[in-house]
Amino acid sequence: MKYVAIAILILGALFAGCARPAIDTKIPPVAVIDSVSSSPIYTGDSVKFVGHGISTTGQIISYNWRSSINGDISKQATFDTSTLSAGSHTIWFSVQDNYGNWSTEIGTSLLVLSHGGPATMAIKVFSASPSAINEGDWITLTWDVSGDGTVRIDPDIGNVAYNGSRSVQPMQNTTYTIYATNDAGVTTATTVIAVAPIALNKVVLYSVSSESGTIMINSGAFTSGQVLVGEDRGQMQMQGILSFDISSIPYNAIVKSVQLDMSRSIIFNYPFPWQGNLFIYNLKYGLDLNAQNQMTFLPSSSIYRWGTNSQITQMPAAPFTSVDFVSAVQRQIDSRNSRFQVRMQFEKYYHYNFWDLSSTTNQKLSQPSGLVGNYIDVTSGNPTLIVGYILPQ
C-alpha cells in the first residue's frame, strides 16, 4: 500500500505540472501592413496591397482594408485593385482573431492622381516603421514629397524638408499627419502607430534628512533636519528644502508620473493667505549664495503652486503633481544625477494688496504681533516622493 500511495502522489504531481495556464482571450491582435505599391499612381492603375496579422493567443481569421475615400475595399490579406478614385487616400487595415477581437486600425498613405489634374504636391511616401510598438520604444517616420510648396508633420514635428526621416517616441496610440501645401491646395496623408502599454514601476522615496532643512532668508543660514516654510515667530521668512535620492531609478527610465506627498504636514496658524501662495521649485540650496552668505533668487519657473486667498488650516489630501514635476525628475535622471531637490517658499500676488485689513477677521488672520509664526512644518508629515516609470523593452 505504501508504494501505491507514492505512485499516486507522483502521478498527481506530473498531471499538476502539465496543467495549462489560462489564456486571456481578450488580448487584441496586431495588424501589420507589409507593402503597398508605390505612390502616386493614376486613376485606372493597378495597386497591390499586402498585410498580415499577429495574435499572441489565437489565430487570425478576418481582414479588412478600407480607403478614406472609397470605403471598404477588400476582405483579403493580399489583393490588387484598379478602382480607387482620384485623391489623397489613407488606407486603413485591421485584422480579427478567432475570439472575435479586432486589432487597432493602422494606416498608410496613397495618392491617386487624375490625368490632367491640377499640379498639387504629391506625397509619394509617408510611412512608419514599425507601425506597432511597446510603450517607450521608438519608430522612424519616412516621407517623400514632390512639388513646390511647404511640408509639415503633426503632432510635435512641424515643418520639414521634402523628403527625410525622423525618429519619434509616441507614448500612446498616435496618428501622424503630413501636410503638403502650395497654391493648388493641400495634400495630406496619415499613418497610425499602435502603442501597447507596458508595466509601470513605482518607487516611494523619503527625503534625505541631512540634505533637507530650512533656510532663513535674512541670513541665508541653513539648518538641516526640520523643514519649515513661511515666517517664524520674529516674522523672518523661511524657505524649505527637500532632497530625495533617486539613484534607485534606472538611468534609461521614462518617467510617467511624479507625486510629492505633503498631505500630513502641519500648518501652524495662518500662512495662507498672509504669506501668499506656496511655490515649489526644482532648485537646490548651496549654489545660490552671494558674498554675504545670503540667498539669491535664481530665475526659474515653479513646477507647482498651491494656495488660496482664504484661510487654510490643513494641507490637501491629494499629493502635488504636474507635468512640470515629471519633466524635472526626467531631466535629473537623464543627466545621471542622484538627487532630486525642491525649494519651497511663499510668494504673494498683487491681489493681496486689495484685502480689507480693517475687518476683525482679517486682523486676526494677519497676526500683527508677529510672535506666533505662520508656517508649514513639512517634516512633521514625513513627506514622500512617489515616482512612476517604465523601462523600454
Cα 185 to Cα 118: distance, rounded to the nearest angstrom: 9
Q: How many CA atoms lie within 13 A of 373 on its CB side?
A: 15
Instruction: Identify the pLDDT of residue 205.
Output: 96
Task: Compute the residue count for the chain.
Answer: 393
Cα 344 to Cα 331: distance, rounded to the nearest angstrom: 19
Using CA atoms, how far residue 340 sits from 37, 119, 284, in Å, is 52, 56, 9
Instruction: Identify the pLDDT of residue 364.
Output: 44
Cα 214 to Cα 55: distance, rounded to the nearest angstrom: 57
* Global confidence as pTM: 0.55
Torsions phi, psi for 363 (to 5 deg): -65, -40
Q: Which residue has the cell 502599454?
A: 197
Which of 112, 120, 181, 173 has the alpha carbon at shortest distance from 152?
181
SS3 98: coil
CATH domain 30-196 topology: Immunoglobulin-like (2.60.40)
Chain center to CA of 124: 32
Cα 126 to Cα 30: distance, rounded to the nearest angstrom: 20
Which of 92, 94, 171, 90 has the alpha carbon at shortest distance from 133?
171
Cα 155 to Cα 157: distance, rounded to the nearest angstrom: 6
Which helix (DSSP H) or strand (DSSP E) does residue 142 occupy?
A: strand 139-146
Instruction: Identify the pLDDT of residue 19.
Output: 47
Cα 127 to Cα 107: distance, rounded to the nearest angstrom: 9
Chain center to CA of 77: 35
Would you give per-residue pLDDT tens digits along the chain (393 residues)?
444 444 444 444 444 444 455 677 888 899 999 888 776 788 888 899 999 998 878 899 999 999 988 899 999 999 999 888 877 788 999 999 999 999 999 988 887 877 765 567 889 999 999 988 888 888 999 999 988 889 999 998 999 999 999 999 898 899 999 999 987 788 999 999 998 888 889 999 999 999 999 988 777 788 888 999 998 887 888 999 999 999 999 999 999 999 999 999 999 888 887 778 899 998 764 445 454 444 455 546 788 888 765 567 788 889 999 989 999 999 999 999 999 999 998 887 544 444 454 554 444 444 445 457 889 999 988 999 999 998 887
Cell numbers for 255:
518617467
Domain range annotation of the chain: 30-196, 201-390
